[in-house]
Homo-oligomer: A and B are copies of this chain.
């Protein structure tokens, strides 16, 4: 384990998600890029993978945005380290579990970075708090321009950027927003909302990417199409859709706050009672309870803690974060005990 300092850090993009944007926890854009002169990672030999990684590290050091970034070789990270990077949304599930010469460049406040030798040579990514698609696009395209000065990206005039999987070809962009929809969760509207989004050519899924469950009423919405459409148009479409979902969630919140205020208060404080008293707690249960607390803060019922405090707690109770913070691997049963201890300690001063 090498990231115990990282595990105890607050996450830059998390503490920004207060106030107006409380429905949108974070915004993320990633660009898939490949180097012209090498095959895609899946068919590279080890030497080539190492060479690719070296070149990308070097290109980062030459530029401005990532010159002081941390350069991480994945084979030097144990399974808990990788899980930690996954939980902080810096690497994907596949990247965490590959044994090849993957890499990670991690920039300022962990908001900007590059995943190296995952499915593509580069996955350039930027994550920020709240709904901030335009700022994110501005920053990530600057980094893209900077890198393209020293790296020769695989690009076809007909197809655009070439990628290992054809679903990314063209712009290579995936833009996503992580939303918190507690009122749609309470009133049962979340299922219909998710079905509608899928029909509109966007993708909706759980907190940790493809195939993961909806926990704590949190979903990720992202674009499906990357080809035959500009990046600006993709981002604009996503923004309009997310705004619609926010409106729907906000209407549901008004309904719950106005006509179910006693029930809401009960749900919020029961969650608080369990979080401040339990001696065993799974990540999933904690996330569901914190989802209720988050709604409680939004509605003004819960005054004991604020959104930033809650967001950071949500990061720290994840399995690998717990293990890094204690400096050892733990079985799930032990983690549930340590998680409950951490939550009680965190909230104790707030009672």
CA distance A278 to B267 in the complex (A): 8
Contacts of A266 in B (CB 8 A): 278-280, 340
Bound form: Cα–Cα A7–B269 in Å: 28
From B263, B269, B276, B280, give the contact of A263 (CB < 8 A).
Answer: B280
Does A265 belong to the interface (CB within 8 Å)?
Answer: yes
A42 at the interface (CB under 8 A from B): no
Answer yes or no: A198 CB below 8 A from chain B CBs: no
Q: Which of A121-136 contact B (CB under 8 A)?
A: none
SS of A interface (majority): helix
- Protomer copies: 2
Whether A188 sits at the interface, judged by CB under 8 Å, is: no
8 Å CB contact of A270 from B265, B274, B337? B274
Asked if A272 lies at the interface with its beta carbon under 8 angstroms from chain B, I say yes
Q: Indicate whether A150 reaches chain B with its CB closer than 8 angstroms.
A: no
The answer to whether B277 touches A273 (Cβ under 8 A) is: yes
Which A residues contact B (CB, under 8 angstroms)? 262-263, 265-266, 269-270, 272-280, 337, 340, 351
Known: A266-B340, A273-B273. 19 other contacts (CB 8 A): A262-B280, A262-B337, A263-B280, A265-B279, A266-B279, A269-B277, A269-B278, A269-B279, A270-B273, A270-B278, A272-B273, A273-B274, A273-B275, A273-B276, A273-B277, A273-B278, A274-B274, A276-B277, A351-B351
Give 8 nearest A-B pairs by CB, closest first.
A273-B277, A273-B273, A266-B279, A269-B277, A266-B280, A265-B279, A273-B274, A270-B278
